């Protein structure tokens, strides 16, 4: 009987503590990126599950203009594949305002996660989480895979207040978190801003905010879908 109880406890405990991936019912998250009350871009996340594999396709496009002159431009594409709450492959490409191109590719191999980034080949634990923000399991970690440069960065996390966010004409109860990135890299042109993220009670990403490292202007991600 004690053995049976121990087994049942182990099963229940494992299920309670196992990471689960939360995705929206409509399989899409869409943010308008706002600066100085103007929309300067979009952040689109599409989810598709097939044969047990969750594909997450992410596109970020930002363009700040003054009349016909483009003052700032940035693009990022990220394609992730997940199985049983683990990242099994990732492929990204980014183009910064200074016209620097970055490419990251990675996949699970031999019970590890192997990826290629700005520093070449790296091997880390198989349960690494990329900083794609949509995955609330990021909050359970102390480091993440930088999806632009392909490096591991450590961070600190602080849980802040509960807040209500207006989405789809409804008030959504959310918890606000503060992310401070610790790890620096020689390729960093500017320091990382402090990032604030809001997740609802189901672990779904609802809002993101930071001060631009370019000019300290406020950058708001307002969810519209």
Residue 15 falls inside a structural domain:
no
Residue 5 falls inside a structural domain:
no
Q: What is the pLDDT of residue 12?
A: 36
Residue 28 falls inside a structural domain:
yes
pLDDT, tens digit, for every residue of 15-50? 333 578 889 999 999 999 999 999 999 999 999 999
Residue 17 falls inside a structural domain:
no
pLDDT, tens digit, for every residue of 161-181? 999 999 999 999 999 999 999
The token pair that represents 61 in the structure block: 């496009």
Domain count across the chain: 1
**Is this model's pTM higher than 0.85 or not?**
yes
Q: What is the pLDDT of residue 169?
A: 94
Residue 73 falls inside a structural domain:
yes
By percentage, how much of the chain surpasses pLDDT 90? 87
What are the angstrom distances between the C-alpha of 158 and each of 4, 12, 17, 183? Answer: 39, 29, 21, 17
pLDDT range class, residue 214, cuts 50, 70, 90: confident
Output the CA torsion sign for 132, 133, 136, 138.
positive
Residue 2 falls inside a structural domain:
no
Q: What is the pLDDT of residue 182?
A: 97
Closest CA to 20 of 204, 225, 207, 206: 204
pLDDT, tens digit, for every residue of 111-164? 999 999 999 999 999 999 999 999 999 999 999 999 999 999 999 999 999 999
HSE, CB side, 13 Å, CA atoms: give it for residue 172.
19
Domain range for 138 is: 22-223
Residue 184 falls inside a structural domain:
yes
Region 187-192 average pLDDT? 92
pLDDT at 14 over 70: no
pLDDT, tens digit, for every residue of 45-104? 999 999 999 999 999 999 999 999 999 999 999 999 999 999 999 999 999 999 999 999
Residue 200 falls inside a structural domain:
yes
């Amino acid at each position: 009987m004690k053995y049976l109880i121990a087994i049942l406890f182990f099963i229940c405990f494992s299920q309670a503590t196992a990471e689960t991936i939360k995705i929206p019912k409509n399989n899409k998250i869409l943010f308008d990126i706002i600066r100085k009350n103007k929309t300067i871009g979009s952040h689109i996340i599409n989810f598709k599950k097939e044969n047990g594999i969750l594909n997450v396709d992410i596109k970020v496009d930002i363009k700040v203009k003054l009349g016909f002159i483009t003052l700032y431009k940035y693009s990022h594409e990220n394609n992730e594949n997940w199985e049983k709450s683990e990242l099994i492959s990732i492929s990204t490409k980014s183009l910064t305002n200074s016209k620097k191109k970055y490419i990251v590719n990675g996949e699970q191999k031999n019970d590890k996660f192997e990826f290629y980034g700005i520093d070449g080949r790296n091997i880390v634990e198989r349960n690494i989480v990329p900083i794609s923000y949509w995955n609330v399991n990021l909050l359970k970690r102390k480091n993440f895979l930088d999806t632009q440069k392909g490096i591991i960065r450590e961070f600190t996390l602080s849980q802040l207040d509960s807040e209500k966010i207006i989405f789809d004409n409804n008030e959504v109860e959310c918890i606000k978190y503060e992310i401070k990135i610790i790890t620096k890299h020689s390729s960093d042109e500017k320091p990382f801003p402090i990032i604030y993220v809001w997740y609802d009670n189901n672990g779904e990403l609802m809002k993101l905010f930071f001060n631009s490292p370019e000019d300290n202007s406020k950058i708001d991600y307002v969810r519209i879908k």
